[in-house]
Amino acid sequence: MAVAEVHLPWLTTSFIEAKTATAASLVVGFLFFLLFHFKALVEKKTFRPLQYVSNRLEAWKYLFYGTVIIQEKFEKSNGEAFEVFAPDNRYVFVSSPKHIKELDSAPDTVLSLQAASKQMLQPAHTMHGFNWFDRRGTEGVGFVRALRTLLTNNLPQILPDLSVISRARFAELHAQHPIVDVKNEQFMVSALAYIEETLVGAEAVRLLPKFMVPFVGNFLTWKLKSHEVIFGTLVPVAEQRCLERDLKNLGQQVPYHADCIQWIMETSPRQSPWTPKRIVHELMAIWFGSVHALSTTITFAIHDLCLHPGYVEPLRRELQCGYADFERTATGLPLLDSFIKESARLTPVEAQSTRRSALQPFSLSDGTRLEVGDWACTPVRAIMTNPTFYPTPLDFHGFRFAPPDVVAALDAAFKVPQEKSTRLVDVDSTFHVWGTGRMACPGRYYAAAVIKVILGQTILNYDFELVDRDAPRWFTWLQDSHSKNALNWKHFAAEFAALKARSPVSTNHKECQKQPVFFSLGRVEEVDTFIIAATTSGNKAVAPRAKRNGFDGSTVDPSVFLGAC
Ligand code: HEM
């Protein structure tokens, strides 16, 4: 330090202190880096530092730009498998039917959905200590029969009640009363909060270095209360059911129950029937899986009804004729079925589907290798907006999946060139909302029926619109800069075309006539309020909302020319 002061008089003491502090921080940072990545560093037989650092940077970028990274790599992959790094994982995305089949055919001891779900949801910390086995079937797969068969078969009994509940809830919301008529309000509040708490808690835990997980995980378990309320409320119910089961086995008369608690209990392994605690853990896992995806899918479908109001009338006509039959049989309503499917296709809940964690090393037929802990998965959004499978893939065509004879009776605007008519619950290699293959969602028949009840009641009984049409439809940590995000531009183009079709936009505006362009700060749904006009002479008219967000029109990409503004 003294030498520096003599020879470099411009270096003040505070500067040197700052440099010392910076150097110390770097050393500490480096030690932390070694600590966090020690295992990875020593395990790599041929360690390439540059490659490693580049992979780690890409991994953290994934948290902020995941959907864009997947889309870009998918577009470059030409149908081949591609890898993406996330902070806690290496993902191998497959999209060809051949590779998807290979995942499906892999033994459960090699590629595991259970292990992937466990890593994703951290149930030991978020689901009251539930620590399910990595290997599927270790404790039976009775839940598949409970949901896929028993729950589906009981839909005709369930749907009329569900319609009544849905109507009552809407009426209540409409009258702006507080929640009434709930037997255990604390349970209901916790049942909803539990979904978000699980998501947020699990995400935090899985990003931590392993040695910190027990401390932070235990803190979260203690801090998050809703899983305790659910567990505490349901255990006595499950205990009573187990008691009744034992009494029945002794030949006594017991009450009849047709609900998921009963079906989960009855389909548990005969040799070692589940304890009440184990039954409730299973219910909590199913509750999470069903509520989260279901509510998101319904919300997007209602948005789409508001954004594409031309569909309301034909759907209402179909419901007026067919709702009663649907309630009795849980089938029918092909136009509504297609509308929901199209909404889920363009706004799926997730960007990854068919997750399988490698419990043993696994190789695809093209030689792509998964090491233990890597995940195989499918790029669900990218596949479902692929022009090879879906003509005009970014346009919303609510009836693209409906049977041609049903669509033939409608206005020509509803006819689209989708070759094959398919149902919402169908699973194939181009529609991954329910996953794929033998492990595709067993709750999808129930889910599809519930969505139809809620949308059906909305369409039959209400006229509706979005309170704030410009409000974002989803949240991402970082909004992508429009100039970097080719994907968003494509979406804007599709949305803008739909917007024009709905309410023609003036082309008489003097400044628009030469080179009109449109702009959005990164959110598709704001396209109408972000329209700007940029003329070849450089004049710009910026919509007020764009101005409020600090945009002055200077960075408009001129390649996005739509011919109207
Ligand atoms: C719109 C709503 C829903 C969506 C989008 C959805 C989606 C999915 C997906 C993508 C999978 C993974 C499949 C795979 O990896 O191949 C899955 C699995 C599963 N879903 Fe759903 N799901 C929904 C509703 C439900 C409901 C309502 C239930 C229960 C009543 C349910 C129960 C399950 C279960 C138990 C599994 C695990 C299957 C297994 O391990 O074999 N889901 N779901």
Residue 202: in which H helix or E strand, if any? helix 185-207
DSSP 488-516: HHHHHHHHHHHHHHHSPPP---GGGSSSE
Which tens digit of pLDDT belongs to each residue from 94-108?
A: 999 999 999 999 999
Q: Is 349 in the pocket of ligand 1 (CB under 6 A)?
A: yes
Which residue's C-alpha comes closest to atom 29 of ligand 1? Answer: 443
Which tens digit of pLDDT belongs to each residue from 449-504?
A: 999 999 999 999 999 888 887 777 777 665 443 333 333 444 544 554 554 454 43
Ligand 1 geometric centre to CA of 445 (Å): 10
Q: Which two tokens stand for residue 80?
A: 């081949």
Which residue in 267, 269, 275, 268 sits closest to 239, CA to CA?
Answer: 275
Q: Which residues contact 157 (CB under 8 A, 6 or more apart)?
A: 258
Query: Which residue carries 């994907």 as its tokens?
Result: 487
What is the distance between the terminal CA atoms of the chain, rounded to a whole angstrom? Answer: 64
Q: Check the CA dihedral 42-48-54-59 and report its sign.
A: negative
Which tens digit of pLDDT belongs to each residue from 233-275?
A: 999 999 999 999 999 999 999 999 999 999 999 999 888 889 9
Q: What is the mean pLDDT of residues 337-360?
A: 95
Which tens digit of pLDDT belongs to each residue from 96-147?
A: 999 999 999 999 999 999 999 998 888 888 888 888 888 887 887 888 999 9
Within its chain, how far is the Cα of 89 from the centroid?
A: 18
**Helical H runs in 250-374?**
260-266, 276-307, 312-329, 334-346
The atom number, within ligand 1, closest to the CA of 450 reads 27
The atom number, within ligand 1, closest to the CA of 116 reads 15
**Residue 441 annotated as binding site:** yes
- For strands 352-358 and 375-379, give the pairing: antiparallel
Ligand 1 geometric centre to CA of 442 (Å): 6
CA-CA distance, 159 to 76, in Å (whole number)? 45
Query: In which region does residue 505 sit, left (phi positive, over 0), alpha (psi from -120 to 50) or beta (all else)?
Result: beta
Bridge partners of 534?
540
CA-CA distance, 116 to 123, in Å (whole number)? 12
Q: Is 396 in the pocket of ligand 1 (CB under 6 A)?
A: no
Ligand 1 geometric centre to CA of 435 (Å): 8
On the question of pLDDT at 538 being above 50, the answer is no
Q: Amino acid letter at 353?
A: S
Q: Measured over all CA atoms, what is the biggest interatomic distance in the chain, rounded to whole angstroms? A: 98
Domain residue limits, the chain = 1-45, 142-349+387-429+433-461, 470-565
ipTM of the complex: 0.98
Q: Amino acid letter at 44?
A: K
On the question of pLDDT at 22 being above 70, the answer is no
CA-CA distance, 336 to 453, in Å (whole number)? 10
From 104, 105, 162, 441, give the residue whose CB has the most ligand 1 atoms within 8 Å, as the site to mutate: 441
Q: Which residues contact 20 (CB under 8 A, 6 or more apart)?
A: 1
Q: Is 140 in the pocket of ligand 1 (CB under 6 A)?
A: no
Class of domain 142-349+387-429+433-461: mainly alpha
Residue 407's alpha-carbon distances to 254, 282, 307, 329, 424, in angstroms, are: 51, 42, 20, 22, 16
Ligand 1 geometric centre to CA of 461 (Å): 30
Which tens digit of pLDDT belongs to each residue from 401-410?
A: 999 999 998 9
Which tens digit of pLDDT belongs to each residue from 213-239?
A: 888 888 888 888 899 999 999 999 999
Q: Is 436 in the pocket of ligand 1 (CB under 6 A)?
A: yes
Which residue's C-alpha comes closest to atom 7 of ligand 1? Answer: 434
The atom number, within ligand 1, closest to the CA of 348 reads 5
Q: Is 533 in the pocket of ligand 1 (CB under 6 A)?
A: no
Ligand 1 geometric centre to CA of 94 (Å): 20
User: What angle is formed at CA 468 by the lines to CA 472 and CA 478, rounded to 5 degrees?
Assistant: 15
The atom number, within ligand 1, closest to the CA of 136 reads 40
Return phi, psi of residue 463, to 5°: -95, 145
Q: What is the mean pLDDT of residues 165-173?
A: 84
* pLDDT attached to residue 24: 64
DSSP 115-131: HHHHHHH-HHHHTTT--
